Structure 1
Amino acid sequence: MGMKILNVDDEFDMEMLITQRFRKQIREKKFEFVFAHNGLEALEKLDEHDDIALILSDINMPEMDGLTFLGVLNERKNPSLKAVMVSAYGDMENIRTAMNRGAFDFITKPINFEDLEITINKTIEHVMMLKLYQKERDQLISIKNDLSIAKEIQQSMLPKESPPFPNRTDLDLHAFLEPAKVVGGDLFDYFLMDENRLFFIIGDVSDKGIPAALFMAITKAIFKSHFLNPNCGTLMDEVRQVNSFLCADNTSFMFVTAFLGIIDLKTGVVEYVDAGHEPPLIRRKDGTVDVLKKHGGLALAIDASFEYTSQFMTLSSGDTFFLYTDGATDAYNYEKKRYGLPRLQEHLLALSGTETPKEINDTFLEDIKEFIGAEDQFDDITILTILYK
């Protein structure tokens, strides 16, 4: 589409001169001219043609001169509408006033039409750049709004009650997800399968941002649908089924490391599957901290035929089960030092033993943020802490 230009001049022969000089561009629809003979007519033309992007305006005109017109134009606050002022060579005082009032450029009479064409093309280039900038800005605002909604949706999918089971005396737990971006690829969940069995999961999708958040949502939803099903099979059978589903049509080649299991709340026995995740820590009631031994599981969504197997461990009354994603241990500070597993162990060792899971997580988040300092958080940080009573 051509650029629509408003020419404002009280000399009627200017319309003929411009039409003749730019007949080729008009014929090729590069330029389209609209004509007015004073500022008042020009304002009417602007109301009729809201797609005018460039104004060529004489300064000295009857009824409403160019400087007054320029002032009214500024009140419309249209940054992509540019004015080029036209006046006699000796009228530099008015030209200077026009530039101070926001005119983009000026040309002098008698008009050199080659110079006018150069000025028009330069102004059009600037207008197009402004319109592109505005379009990109609008797109960024739209993306930001979409991300804000995505964050709300993602956070709404995560358990938020604290404490989640206020009427139970056999356990307490707390979890949080601190995304590196607006939305993240980490996940956690927990729920009672029945009166005596607690299902839990923590996971980390291989990517970040929107793609990871979508994969996270799918993974979490599938696990919940499987383990809330009254007819669900064994832990390892259900994990195999979920893994097979996640592998199907996985054209993005994303994967999820996960640690999930079922706690028997009567006995403290934990049946778990390690799908390539970070080893959890156990803070025993006596204050010692154990690192759960790894058993070499494969991340989910990589191999549909992988044979996941269950492992078992036992929590005693007063033990705290601490699960995390690698965003915690891999966090680094301005010296490029990692937070690391030893510091995480030290954090748990320093506890008094009377802290609730929420208090443990709050103090950990405070410690890791103090460690990171002014550095950017480059990965999601997720913690799930379970106190077995």
Structure 2
Amino acid sequence: MPQPWRILVVDDEPDLEPLVLQRMRRQIRSGKYDFQFAANGLEALEKLRADDTIDLVLSDINMPQMDGLTLLSQLGSLNQDLRAVIISAYGDMGNIRTAMNRGAFDFVTKPVDFDDLQITIERTVEHLRQWREATASRDKLVTLQNELDIASNVQQSILPDDFPATQTYGIDANMVPARNVGGDFYDYVAAAGDKVFATVADVSDKGIPAALFMMSSRTALKGAAIGTGSPREALIEANRVLQADNPTLMFVTVVMALYEPRTGELVYASAGHDPPVIVRADGSAERMSATGGMALGIAPEAVFASNLAEQRLTLAPGETLVLYTDGVSEAMNVEQEEFGTDRLLQLFADRPPRSAEEAMHAIFDAVSAFAGEAPASDDITCLALHRNMSP
């Protein structure tokens, strides 16, 4: 039997311990998780120093004696391979940004949604598992490709794979990495008013540095989306975070959309990225207008913000929003021909997608069939958001 993942919950709220034990009872009974509890950062440090088998620290920020941010700054002094997830007030970008800078892997917001908490914990421990496997295997690696393969697995482990499918809309996404590790990623984040952010991004360069920058970019964009409620403002905030600590001058292009399921209203902004494609209910498709933005991570805030705008539209019933990276449009076959945007726009002419999942399968199947035996030169990443027909 595998050992349970040991999680230390740090919070001064006395009602949290029985609530966690009740809501996570199935995972506890099955031996998947073992929860420990501490009332503040000082007590947590004592437990961590006495027990080096703890894998994950789940900590509130505001606590007596030692708060969560101070605790984060102390974790690096421990000789332990663990991860930290912070519980933050909704929209508290200041503390979220500080937590990220101090090494937090992810965060959840108050009031805690236990479904979201479960997904966050699973994603974090899966990342830790992959990382530990990579560390244990590092001495045995004999080629650079082995390292790139492991980094790719770590990268894949943090991408969401549990997509929303409601009566009004659905989301599906996928990332197929090229032979070398890249920096493509996708994400979706619930927002206030039952809205949802959808994001696709592409980090410059390839290899392990790109994969690491991808992880920082994803966390920055997720936090900015929750904290701002606007694609443009989220991109500005994420650029501020990434540009402040970017000695390698890496950058990431991003397209981010905010969707309102009740009305179909959609707002998007593109930071140096290909704009979205809208597939109509009749199968026709249109490439939307670019919003003039620059890539994240290299330009000061004033310059970045002055070049970024938002576009608004309404997604009608039966229509599909497609966000993609240039790994789709620039996929090449053995004759060195590109798949191109025109093929993407014509893809659904005879058969409009009836769901986000159907749109995703069609795109990836078409790109794969076009490329044939040609080796992939870039990651292929795509996210589809489909507005369902009225019942």
**TM-score, structure 1 length as denominator?**
0.59
Offset of residue 302 of structure 1: 2.1
SS in 2 for 1:334: coil
Preserved CA contact (<8 Å) 1:283 1:349: no
Aligned to 1:297: 293
Offset of residue 286 of structure 1: 2.6
Matched, 1:377 2:376: yes
Aligned to 1:247: 243
The CA distance in 1 between the partners of 2:351 and 2:179, in whole Å, is 30
Aligned to 1:150: 151
The CA distance in 2 between the partners of 1:336 and 1:145, in whole Å, is 28
The CA distance in 2 between the partners of 1:303 and 1:375, in whole Å, is 36
Offset of residue 387 of structure 1: 0.1
Aligned to 1:361: 360
The CA distance in 2 between the partners of 1:314 and 1:177, in whole Å, is 27
* Distance change (3 Å), C-alpha of 1:249 and 1:138: closer
Preserved CA contact (<8 Å) 2:329 2:339: yes
Aligned to 1:83: none
Offset of residue 259 of structure 1: 0.4
Preserved CA contact (<8 Å) 1:181 1:209: no
Aligned to 2:324: 324
SS in 1 for 2:268: strand
What amino acid is the match of 2:372?
A: G
Aligned to 2:116: none
Offset of residue 309 of structure 1: 2.6
Aligned to 1:216: 214
Aligned to 2:270: 274
Offset of residue 339 of structure 1: 0.7
**For 1:1-389, what aligned pairs fall within 5 Å after superposition?**
140-141=141-142, 146-161=147-162, 164-166=163-165, 168-229=166-227, 232=228, 234-304=230-300, 305=302, 306-307=304-305, 308-354=308-354, 356-389=355-388
The CA distance in 1 between the partners of 2:179 and 2:244, in whole Å, is 27
The CA distance in 2 between the partners of 1:348 and 1:255, in whole Å, is 33
The CA distance in 2 between the partners of 1:374 and 1:362, in whole Å, is 19
The CA distance in 1 between the partners of 2:347 and 2:283, in whole Å, is 11
Count of residue pairs the alignment pairs up: 247
SS in 2 for 1:290: strand
Preserved CA contact (<8 Å) 2:284 2:346: no
Offset of residue 352 of structure 1: 3.8
The CA distance in 2 between the partners of 1:153 and 1:353, in whole Å, is 31
* Distance change (3 Å), C-alpha of 1:145 and 1:288: closer
Preserved CA contact (<8 Å) 1:172 1:387: yes
What amino acid is the match of 1:358?
A: E
**TM-score, structure 2 length as denominator?**
0.59
Offset of residue 149 of structure 1: 3.9
The CA distance in 2 between the partners of 1:233 and 1:169, in whole Å, is 23
Preserved CA contact (<8 Å) 1:187 1:202: yes
Offset of residue 211 of structure 1: 1.2
Offset of residue 148 of structure 1: 4.3
* Distance change (3 Å), C-alpha of 1:151 and 1:353: closer
SS in 1 for 2:209: helix
What amino acid is the match of 2:258?
A: I
What's the CA shift string for 1:241-266, capped at 9, x where partnerless?
Answer: 21122112322221111100211111
What amino acid is the match of 1:187?
A: F
The CA distance in 2 between the partners of 1:375 and 1:152, in whole Å, is 23
Preserved CA contact (<8 Å) 1:268 1:316: yes
Aligned to 2:84: none
What amino acid is the match of 1:178?
A: V
Offset of residue 267 of structure 1: 1.4
Preserved CA contact (<8 Å) 2:291 2:310: no
Which shows bigger deviation, 337-346 or 289-298? Answer: 289-298
Answer with 1 or 2: which has the greater Rg. Answer: 1
What amino acid is the match of 2:367?
A: I
The CA distance in 2 between the partners of 1:388 and 1:363, in whole Å, is 17
